[in-house]
Amino acid sequence: MGHWWERNIIEPGKLPLLLALSAFVLTFLITRIITRLIRAGKGPFRNISGSGGVHIHHVVPGVVLTVVGGFGSVASDGHGLGALLAAVLFGMGAGLVLDEFALILHLDDVYWSEQGRKSVEMVVLTTALVVLMLGGFLPFGVNDLSDEELQDRGTVIGSIGTNFLFALVALSKGKARTAVFGVIIPLIAVVGAIRLARPTSPWARRFYRRRPRARAKSWLRAYRHDRRWAGPGRRFQDWIGGRPDEAPMLEPGKSGQGPPALEPGSVSGSGPVAGPERGPVPEPEAGRATKSASGSTSTSESGPGPESGPESAPGADAELRDRR
């Protein structure tokens, strides 16, 4: 065990990376335990609020620790006790930040909602990638090159470019996890690039429009894959990060549920309407259209006016005689 530790961790200089990973995982697990206790109302832990009652999310100290640890690691040149301390601070900060990755993505407090699963997924993905790097895998398959090939810049650039291209194709086919792991293990990216794309991916929208058989096969394969793995994946996320809250049922009239329910006798538009408690509202006298026997339509105005016509003339003449 001592020989393995010396050969695989100390000599390659991976001790800071191991400490950062350990701090990252422990910080995430401890944070989830504390938040689940706060959610259940147990224990001495409570939410932290600043001045004015503003809730302070733990992503805030996470950003501070990440900045301090990152700059400390660069300043220490990766050697000595300072590098180890900076790695621990960086791992703690990254754990706090990625635990609220969904909040950063949605710009909303979705910690205990379905969208909050993105945080757990990101933490698991980051942990897996760092474990692969600790195991000796380097991005874009550089570890597969010999010392002579590493001396040839053209070979290195060609290898990195090819592996990056496979990862990019896998990503365009809607296989984000495959693309990310393919950056570390190129064979995974090759498999993702060869297989059918997800039906809603940019690749499928571009190349499957005139290929109905490929499009149907893509939908069928995606359905079978999701039916097989969606349930276990959600249970694993619930076991690590806690089950999300149930989506509240909104009452009619709330946002997203259509127009508000109307009370009896009311209407959403303008104008009077008859209801159960009210009698029929008569139409206004002014502007009422009447149809004559000949079929022409005339409009009668209420009250005299300059446009009243000959029927209003006698009253006007009598008033004028009285004034004289």
Q: Examine residue 103 and state whether it is found in any structural domain, yes or no.
A: yes
Domain count, the chain: 1
Residue that has been written with the tokens 């990101």 in this structure: 122
Q: Examine residue 92 and state whether it is found in any structural domain, yes or no.
A: yes
Q: Examine residue 62 and state whether it is found in any structural domain, yes or no.
A: yes
What average pLDDT does this structure show over 298-316?
46
Query: Which tokens belong to 18?
Result: 């191991």
Q: Examine residue 239 and state whether it is found in any structural domain, yes or no.
A: no
How far is Cα 184 from Cα 164, in angstroms, rounded to an integer? Answer: 10
Q: Examine residue 105 and state whether it is found in any structural domain, yes or no.
A: yes
242 and 32 Cβ atoms separated by less than 8 Å: yes
How far is Cα 275 from Cα 119, in angstroms, rounded to an integer? Answer: 53
Average pLDDT, the chain: 78
Q: Examine residue 250 and state whether it is found in any structural domain, yes or no.
A: no
How does pLDDT run across 75-119, given as a tens digit for each residue?
887 778 889 999 999 999 999 999 999 999 999 989 999 898 999
How far is Cα 201 from Cα 100, in angstroms, rounded to an integer? Answer: 26
List the domain range (segments joined by +) for residue 42: 1-47+56-136
**The most confident of 197-206, 278-287, 306-315, by mean pLDDT:** 197-206
Q: Which residues pair with 297 in a beta bridge?
A: 291
What average pLDDT does this structure show over 142-148?
60
Other C-beta atoms closer than 10 Å to the C-beta of 167 total: 26
- The residues, ordered by sequence, that sit 6+ positions from 218 with a Cβ below 8 Å of its Cβ are 196, 197, 198, 199, 204, 208
Q: Give the model's pLDDT for residue 18.
A: 93
Q: Give the model's pLDDT for residue 127.
A: 93
Q: Examine residue 83 and state whether it is found in any structural domain, yes or no.
A: yes
pLDDT of 315 above 70: no
- The residues, ordered by sequence, that sit 6+ positions from 39 with a Cβ below 8 Å of its Cβ are 112, 242
pLDDT of 320 above 60: no
